[in-house]
Amino acid sequence: MSTFGRADRRLGRRPAKLGRCATAGEISGLRHVLRTTVTLPRRNTLVEPECHCGGGSVNTHALFVVGRGLIAISFIVSAIGKASNWKDTIGLMQMHRMPWPTLGLTSAILIEIVGGVCLLIGTFLYPTVIALFAYVALATAFIPLQDVLKNQGRESAVPVIGSNIAILGGLVLVLALKGY
């Protein structure tokens, strides 16, 4: 006999028949059975799925940390590159007619370093990902997308747009896996 049948018999109720709606008492009995027989994981916990490639389990938390770290390193390295080539980066920003290039470059370096470090150590993930997402989307719109639309340096701009879209996808996955 099924679990529901035993519970119904224990509670003095008949099981619901197919083709009709369950009564309030039958629903209450079902809730009791579910509460006593099913244990659900707590909310916002990472469930480790089984790996079907030789046994064991995949540690999803470790993969999440590694992926987040790789994205963080790309932002930190980019900030170091911008800071070490300050004059060239300012010239590129002026060539694309960006307003206040010095302020823009300073804020870009600050966003990339602070955002990269926060991603790396895993603090303030939600605001960090939102800020980095907005930064990457705006940076893509200001420089490589303009190059493609004006047909200037199209060969180098298209891969940059593709990699920026991949970074945006990675940032969305950080939020998805964190449970927001």
* Residue 89 CB partners (closer than 8 Å, separation 6+): 82, 105
Structure-block tokens of residue 141:
């719109």
Q: Determine the pLDDT at residue 18.
A: 47
> Is residue 171 exposed (0-12), middle (13-18) or buried (19+ Cβ within 10 Å)?
buried
* Phi, psi angle pair for 50, to nearest 5°: -75, 145
Supply the pLDDT for residue 161. Answer: 81
Which H or E run includes 169?
helix 154-178
The helices-and-strands tally (H runs, E runs) of the chain is: 8, 0
Average pLDDT, the chain: 76
63-91 pLDDT, tens per residue? 888 989 999 999 999 999 999 999 999 99
**Alpha helices for 38-124 (secondary structure H):** 60-84, 86-95, 101-121
pTM over 0.75: no
